[in-house]
Structure 1
Amino acid sequence: MSLHLGRLTVTSLASAALLVSTTQPAGAIVGGAPDDYEHPYVGQLLFYVPDAVDSRFDDPGGWFNCTGTLLDADTVLTAGHCTYAVGIEGEAPEDPLHGGTDVWFSVEEEPDYSILPRSSTYVPDRNQERYDDWSAALDASPTWHEAETTYTHPEYVDAAFLLHDVAVVELSEPVLVDGEGRPLTEFGTLPEEDHLDTYYSRAAKRDGLFESVGYGLEGSSPKSSFGGDTRRKADRRLVSFKGAYGYKDIAVMFSHAGRGTSGGTCFGDSGGPTFDISTPELEEQNLVVAVTSFGLNYNCNASGSYRLDQADDLAFLADPAGAYE
């Protein structure tokens, strides 16, 4: 079984995992440590899907969280399942693959949810009012930045999300400062084609070191979960080029524990970056080699990440709008 780890449904002012398919998107950092402003260009996404079902409400419409990385001041890299079917001013998009605007992005280490009234105050028949109030509060907030548009990989299919699980959110305004009010001077960068292939050998895997960052849960089981909505990081090893169902070289598996590692990913980390930090030179590049994509169980002790060093993904990321012209 594979699970989306990154897309979390917002239940009140925090978030809890919504498991929606056999293989599902991934979530938050398990173990690890607070990011402590090491990655100020990594932020949390809060987004609205008009057709999503929230069992507490009579009518559809759901809010979710993911993680994303600024590639420049107004371009956010994330997972495809984090932008699919996102709304346009509260309405379902004509094409679920692109054009959504109901996405907000914050680079605060602990994003401000105090501006949002609790969902429970709107149950069961005021879901539209919840959207109106939340979107207005987010628009008025100086720390949440709204999307101008979204682009999901044009070959993305939600029922088989892990095959093309990458997307871009173009913000309506640049993010100029980090959560401490300091100017943002660095961003994530993209790898060269087939960058991860250099780690195929056993020795290269042993020496390679990677770092995942996200806002997901810190622990999860079929009956409980805890943490989330704070930026955390974890050092990891590359353990397999077979992500799930035997799909080789599309997704990769990173460790959750072991020699020289400190944790893994969980629900809410979806779309978050994994950086190659194998050498000081690579670490300085902020090189995002993969985005958190899925988990293999509810306990967040085995997950996979979607590779970004594939030719079609690099072409899409170089010109997201052009992919739809």
Structure 2
Amino acid sequence: MASTHPAAAINSYNAVPAPERTEVGALIARWDDDADPATPDRVDWVCSGTMVDADTFLTAGHCTTDWPAGVRFYVSLAQDVQSALDSAAAAHPGDSQAVAAAVGVEGTAHTDPAYPGPSSSPHDIAVIQLPAAAVAARWTFTPATLPTAGELDALGPQGLNTTSFVTAGYGTQEARRGPGGQTHPGGGVRMKAPVTFNALNPSWVRLAMTEPQGNGGACYGDSGGPNFATLDGVRVLVATTITGDTPCYATNVTYRLDSPAARAFLAPFVTLP
């Protein structure tokens, strides 16, 4: 659910803006999209993610790979990152570096070296290491709480069925049909929506985003974004959005952060509970 063509929203149904989720941010990329050094690089928000400590932004591995050489990554914790990019582009025409710096803080990407793994163990996880002082100078947030090892397993299906889940991100809306076919409008504004437990396996937790049940859900551009569960009264970042059904109506397939593989990757970057 990455997006290099952002267009405000997680699914529009049952979703609301999330200005209070200040730890949730957008991943911005600056890259050469035409192999012509005489033209400015392109700058866009491309994925979502979450600050998990003062200098570590957690996102998906597929968000930080398969880019042209020289790509630069930035993180913004703005509520409306698309409007911020539009304003910066108007203020700095033709200067992609100034646009990116006006909206985000530049960092260094670290992708799980085992990505892409098999579907049973995808290793689809990455972090952006940021200068903590530069982040603190621009935004105030409380880092997300990560789960303990095997925390979702300990709850089991019965416990997960009664657990409150919320997904968040900057992604587009569910598919709409028009004269030109299906489109996914919106994107670039931090939103949140309730989801409910569907299924659990060693690497994935599948979350239902069906509208009749009161759910919302994730869509394109929400990759890497958080899926929170309320566990013993604490909001815990238990998984990150990776994929789902093409029209964004049914299921959010999310990568578990309590799994051994995810914890092994995160251990050098953040203190794990």
Distance 2:138 2:21 in 1: 9
The answer on whether the counterparts of 2:170 and 2:188 sit within 8 Å (CA) in structure 1 is: yes
Report the equivalent of 1:197: 153
Q: Return closer, same or farther for 1:115/1:69 CA change in 2, 3 Å cut-off.
A: same
Please tell me the root mean square deviation across aligned C-alpha atoms, in Å: 3.2
SS of residue paired to 2:253:
strand
Report the equivalent of 1:81: 62
**Runs of at least 5 residues in structure 1 that lack an aligned partner in the other structure:** 17-26, 94-99, 119-129, 242-247
TM-score (norm 1): 0.69
Amino acid at match of 2:105: H
Matched, 1:40 2:22: yes
Report the equivalent of 1:107: 77
Q: Return closer, same or farther for 1:258/1:136 CA change in 2, 3 Å cut-off.
A: closer
**Deviation at residue 172 of structure 1 after TM alignment:** 3.4
Q: 2:219 aligns with which of 266, 272, 284?
A: 266
Q: How do residues 1-325 of structure 1 correspond to structure 2 at under 5 angstroms?
A: 5=1, 7-10=2-5, 15=6, 28-48=10-30, 50=32, 63=44, 65-86=46-67, 92=69, 102-111=72-81, 112-117=84-89, 133-139=95-101, 141=102, 143-147=103-107, 149-157=108-116, 163-174=122-133, 175-176=135-136, 183-184=140-141, 186-201=142-157, 203-221=158-176, 223-241=182-200, 248-257=201-210, 261-280=214-233, 282-283=234-235, 287-320=236-269
The answer on whether the counterparts of 2:30 and 2:42 sit within 8 Å (CA) in structure 1 is: yes
Distance 2:117 2:73 in 1: 18
Distance 2:98 2:185 in 1: 28
The answer on whether the counterparts of 2:222 and 2:241 sit within 8 Å (CA) in structure 1 is: yes
Distance 2:259 2:244 in 1: 21
Amino acid at match of 1:235: P
Distance 1:296 1:218 in 2: 13
Q: Return closer, same or farther for 1:32/1:279 CA change in 2, 3 Å cut-off.
A: farther
The answer on whether the counterparts of 2:164 and 2:230 sit within 8 Å (CA) in structure 1 is: yes
The answer on whether the counterparts of 2:13 and 2:211 sit within 8 Å (CA) in structure 1 is: no
TM-score (norm 2): 0.81
Distance 2:248 2:186 in 1: 14
Amino acid at match of 1:267: Y
Report the equivalent of 1:21: none
**Deviation at residue 199 of structure 1 after TM alignment:** 3.6
Q: Return closer, same or farther for 1:29/1:74 CA change in 2, 3 Å cut-off.
A: farther
Aligned length: 257
Distance 1:61 1:159 in 2: 32
Q: Return closer, same or farther for 1:167/1:161 CA change in 2, 3 Å cut-off.
A: farther
Distance 1:108 1:306 in 2: 24
The answer on whether the counterparts of 1:29 and 1:263 sit within 8 Å (CA) in structure 2 is: yes
Q: Return closer, same or farther for 1:117/1:35 CA change in 2, 3 Å cut-off.
A: closer
Amino acid at match of 1:72: D
Report the equivalent of 1:19: none
Amino acid at match of 1:317: L
Distance 2:196 2:34 in 1: 37
**Deviation at residue 173 of structure 1 after TM alignment:** 4.6
